[in-house]
Amino acid sequence: MRPATPEDAPQICALLNAVDLVEVGRAETDLGSVETDLVHPEADLGRNSWLAFRGGRLVSYGLLWDDSGAERIDADHYVLPGHQDAGERLLAAIEGRAAERAGENGAARAVVHLTLNSRSTLDRTRLTARGWRTVRRYHVLTRPLTPEADPAPVPPPGLTLRSCEAEADRRRAHALVEETFAAHHDHQPRGYRQFLDDLGAGMDWSLAWIAALDGAGDVAVVLTRDDREAMAWVRNLGVRASARGKGVGGHLLRHACAVYAARGRDTIGLGVDTENATGALGLYTSHGFGLHYAADTWEVTLPVLSPRAALPPTPA
């Protein structure tokens, strides 16, 4: 085991696509998304990333990040089938570092979250044996696109859209995301610079739109991406509470579908919390989105550790 570096991005991407093939039936990870994680200003790869090799082959990868600055710590974990021992060693290293990081934040415990495909290549019995439990289910939904089926929609009366190429509109988009997602499970507040860092260099701001309603001002935002090979992607769609139920979210969704159909895309996807209290799941399914795969958030609560206690075992 060793930490990752930005130069490892191609082999990490290959590993994630091998995992994709098992879990969802096709490779869906793009190099750009891996690179965004590895060059993120908050990454601290020397302490928060792990690569596990067997015979020179990368068989498992983990990444930890801390958006809360408190007890809540998040992680990613990927392992090839047939290498569960390596995957569990990496999982132990993640747990140790998460407990250390929460202690550095001054927290009394670490609440660690890990989101895995419901058909994960990681043996889930190993998770439960280590005290992990599922706390939330998410669906990744997709919808086919064609220019004929997805013409530009007519907006509701008084509703106008503008894209976010201007700096002021990017800041407004950030404020709307923070407001509309504040009560969502797993949302952690992010400053404007952090918001841009999370989006990475591949963000095309002409494909992000703010909706304004006469007499109410800016009421909604949608951030989308066209830098995934597998499909176009809706990253965030948020409507202010005062404007819900007025067709704003549906119009933004149809607008995005029309734009991507005109760009030649044949599929658009998004992720949704199945327990979202705003009715987002119903909105998406009513607009033709169907289940691509399910993912579960796993959680474990750990006591904080001293830095020395959190070190992973020396590889044999």
Kindly indicate the confidence band of residue 307, based on its pLDDT and cuts at 50, 70 and 90.
Answer: low
Residue 313 has pLDDT above 80, yes or no: no
The number of angstroms, rounded, from the C-alpha of 79 to the middle of its chain's C-alpha atoms is: 18
Mean pLDDT in residue range 296-312:
77
Q: Give the confidence band of 312 by pLDDT, cuts at 50, 70, 90.
A: low
Contact 77, 122 (CB under 8 A): yes
Q: Which strand (E) or helix (H) includes residue 124? A: helix 124-129
pLDDT of residue 185: 83
Instruction: Give the model confidence (pLDDT) of 95-153 as tens digits.
Output: 999 999 999 999 999 999 999 999 999 999 999 999 999 999 999 999 999 999 999 99
Question: What's the mean pLDDT when you consider all of the chain?
Answer: 95
Using the predicted structure, report yes or no on whether residue 314 has a pLDDT greater than 90: no
**CA–CA separation, 116 vs 84, rounded Å?**
15
**What pLDDT is stored for residue 13 in this prediction?**
98
Cα maximum dimension of the chain: 68
| Number of Cβ atoms within 10 Å of the Cβ of 218 | 17
What pLDDT score does 305 carry?
A: 77
pLDDT above 90 covers a percentage of the chain that reads: 92
| N-term to C-term CA, the chain | 10
CB 66 within 8 A of CB 1: no
Question: For 288-297, what is the mean pLDDT?
Answer: 97
Using the structure block, give the residue that is written with the tokens 């005062």: 242
Torsion angles phi and psi, residue 232, rounded to 5 = -70, 160
User: pLDDT per residue over 24-74, tens digit each?
Assistant: 999 999 999 999 999 999 999 999 999 999 999 999 999 999 999 999 999
How many whole angstroms separate alpha carbon 133 and alpha carbon 296? 10
pLDDT at 260 over 90: yes
pTM of the model: 0.91
Token pair recorded at residue 301: 């609560």
Reported as a single tens digit per residue, the pLDDT across 193-219 is 999 999 998 899 999 999 999 999 999
Average pLDDT (183-192) is 90
* 137, 294 Cβ separation under 8 angstroms: yes
- 155 and 311 Cβ atoms separated by less than 8 Å: no
For the cut 90, the answer to whether the pLDDT of residue 253 exceeds it is: yes
Q: In what order do the strands lie in the sheet with 133-144?
A: 49-54, 57-65, 72-79, 109-117, 290-303, 133-144, 267-273, 232-239, 217-225, 208-213, 159-163
- Note the pLDDT tens digit of each residue in 217-231: 999 999 999 999 999
Q: For residue 315, what is the DSSP state?
A: P
Q: How far apart are CA 242 and CA 278, in angstroms?
A: 12
Does the pLDDT value for residue 16 go beyond 90? yes
pLDDT at 310: 46
Cα angle 187, 219, 284; round to 5: 65
- What pLDDT does residue 175 have? 98
Q: Which two tokens stand for residue 221?
A: 């935002």
